[in-house]
Structure formats: C-alpha cells, structure tokens
Amino acid sequence: MTSLSPHINFNGRCREALNYYRSCFGGETSFMTIGESPVPIPEPGSPADHIMHGELKVDSFTIMGSDMGPQQVNGAISVVVTCSGKAEMDKAFDGLSKDGSVFCPVGPAFWGGLFGVTTDKFGVTWMLHLPDGS
C-alpha cells in the first residue's frame, strides 16, 4: 500500500471544512462538485454545487472529503487506501468485503485508475484506489 487517508463526510460543509484545515495545516485544496461530475450522482436533494470529492494535500498527508450524504457511505468517515498493484488491491478488497457489504465493486474510475468501496463486517467503510489501474 502506498498511502492511507481519511475520507470525511461533511454533510454540505466540505469546502468550508477543507479550507479551514488548510488554514491550520497549509497545503493545497481541490474540489469537484456533484454538478461537475461526468457521471450522474444519485444524491437526492443535493445541490449541484455540493462537493462530490475534495482534497487537502499537505506535505505528509491528504485529507479527503465530500458532501455526499450518509446513505452513500457508512457514517461520517471512510478510510482511503491507495494501492500499489492490482493483486494487492484485489486481496485487500476481497478480504474487507468478506461478511461485509460492497457499495461499489472494483472497476474503472472516471478520474482514472481503479476504484472500489466496501464496508467491512465491523461497519468501517473502505475506499480502495489504484491510480494507474495496473
């Protein structure tokens, strides 16, 4: 694995929260709104300007966030694992999915690479990403 990052649901306040954390830690923020997504996002009642994915990148860590509601992920925090290879990703995803529930099977992501989301048997939501898809 190449990195581990929190992914926090801010329920409509993602831009505000990540900009606040930037004032505390420094770094750079980036945001993609629900309206900017190239795929339809099933988020009933959410304005198009809500954040689908936001990031604060600081030298030694990344905080990811979203305005997507709790029905999209289990609770307020998910763990994002950036994988270094497909075999590693498959092993981790299969293990985490056992006796859990798959929200998004591993497959191509419109932003590049491979991506999958599963909630383990303990209720922790895991987002696995393989940036280069190989």
Q: What is the mean pLDDT of each run of 10 residues along the chain (134 residues)?
A: 84 90 92 87 74 91 81 67 91 92 93 92 86 82
Of 3.20.20.450, 3.30.390.50, 3.10.180.10, 3.40.50.1820, the CATH number of 3-130 is 3.10.180.10
69: Cα separation from own chain's centroid: 13
- Residue 62 is predicted with a pLDDT of 93
> What is the spatial distance between Cα 119 and Cα 67, in angstroms, rounded to a whole number?
19
CA 91, distance to chain mean position in Å, is 19
Residue-wise pLDDT for 29-49, tens only, equals 999 998 898 877 666 667 888
Domain range summary for the chain, segments of one domain joined by +: 3-130
**DSSP alpha helices (H): ranges in 26-120?**
86-97
- Size (the chain), residues: 134
pTM above 0.85, yes or no: no
